[in-house]
Amino acid sequence: MTARPEVLRAAHGAGRWRQLWPLLAYLLLAAAFPFLPFGARSEYLLQIGYFTVVAGVLALSWDLLARSGQLSLAHAAFYGIGAYGFALLSKAGLAWGVAMPLAALIAAAVSVLLGAVTLRLSGMYFAIATLAFTEVLRTVVQNLPDSLAGGANGMLVPALLAGSPRGQYFLAFAVLLLTVACSLAVRFSRLHLAFSAVRQGEDVARVLGVPVVRYRLLAFALSSFLAALAGVLYAGKTFFINPQETFSVATSIAPLTTSIFGGLYTTLGPVLGATVLRGSEELLHTVLKDGSLMVYGLVLILSILWLPRGLMGLRRRRPGGDV
């Protein structure tokens, strides 16, 4: 009888590893991607792989906040703070290794201030408040002096790692690993129970003693920090940013649709969704050119209608849920 709990713990651990193997296989394939023999198209495909990884980081960071029950449309704001923060700090003379985490910390600090005001709202009220914040921030950046941030025309950004494509890819992959590690840390800790309780019933969670605002603030700060890192990766690869694209509504909507398509509240779902959608977008653009966006949108709508639980819904459910 005394050995039963140990047996249960061992079985639970084995089940956890069974849940993790698709994620580990995906990460191994992503790590090996730059070494695959693509021939003359290797540089082009490496660039697609880079932006796919960035899209995965952005989608998974959004999903981390969604697990606490909040529908945020402010991801473009923190993505933009990361991009502009990195550009301005680099312009001030800081090395990229300092400017990158510092820009992400600034975004996390801003999210705490915003969250202290807005996280008592929920549902569509919170979504509208975060969308308004993004628009206000875009207007502010657009009206900054040209000598500081380029105004509406945008500004140049120094290339990450001196423009080395393979080095930049592995830097993006390292950020993806950090994001996955944060997601798994939440999934396999008491935070998962707290986030789920808040998402499924805010009032009940309060009655059970769960500090709702505190946990939502934690999810918001973590999500914003990772979204800002994605913004740095974007800015350091494109060498140029402007307010219209960086703070666009499309940037806020993209991680939402990607997470829904891949599978909400999972770690593999958002990154797998980013891979499939990004790959499909490039393939359709190559084959159809002008009609690619229409077909892409139609495929996305049908996929969401037929797969309400996303790509992860195709997997057979096991006790403990998807990882």
pLDDT at 318 > cutoff 70: no
pLDDT level of residue 38 (50, 70, 90 thresholds):
confident
pLDDT at 197 > cutoff 60: yes
Contact (Cβ atoms closer than 8 angstroms) between residue 233 and residue 283: no
d(CA 26, CA 21): 9
d(CA 177, CA 26): 11
The whole-number pLDDT of residue 101 equals: 97
The whole-number pLDDT of residue 2 equals: 43
pLDDT at 151 > cutoff 60: yes
4 versus 139: the higher-pLDDT residue is 139
Closest CA to 272 of 234, 305, 313: 313
| Core vs surface per residue 95-134: b (16+ CB within 10 A) or e | ebeebbebbbebbbebbeebbeebbeebeeebbebbbebb
Beta-ladder partners of 240: 156
pLDDT level of residue 8 (50, 70, 90 thresholds):
very low
- For 63-117, the pLDDT digits (tens) are 999 999 999 999 999 999 999 999 999 999 999 999 999 999 999 999 999 999 8
pLDDT level of residue 292 (50, 70, 90 thresholds):
low
Query: For the chain, what is the mean pLDDT?
Result: 88
Q: Output the CA–CA distances (angstroms, integers) from residue 227 to 24, 76, 93, 150, 175, in the order listed.
A: 22, 8, 23, 23, 10
d(CA 228, CA 77): 9
pLDDT at 320 > cutoff 70: no
pLDDT at 195 > cutoff 60: yes
pLDDT at 322 > cutoff 90: no
Residue 292 tokens, joined: 């690619």
- How wide is the angle at C-alpha 211 spanned by C-alphas 207 and 213, nearest 5°? 120
- Single pTM value for the model: 0.91
Contact (Cβ atoms closer than 8 angstroms) between residue 268 and residue 90: no
Q: Where are the beta strands (DSSP E) in the chain?
A: 155-156, 240-241
pLDDT at 186 > cutoff 70: yes
- For 222-280, the pLDDT digits (tens) are 999 999 999 999 999 999 999 999 999 999 999 998 999 999 999 999 999 999 998 88
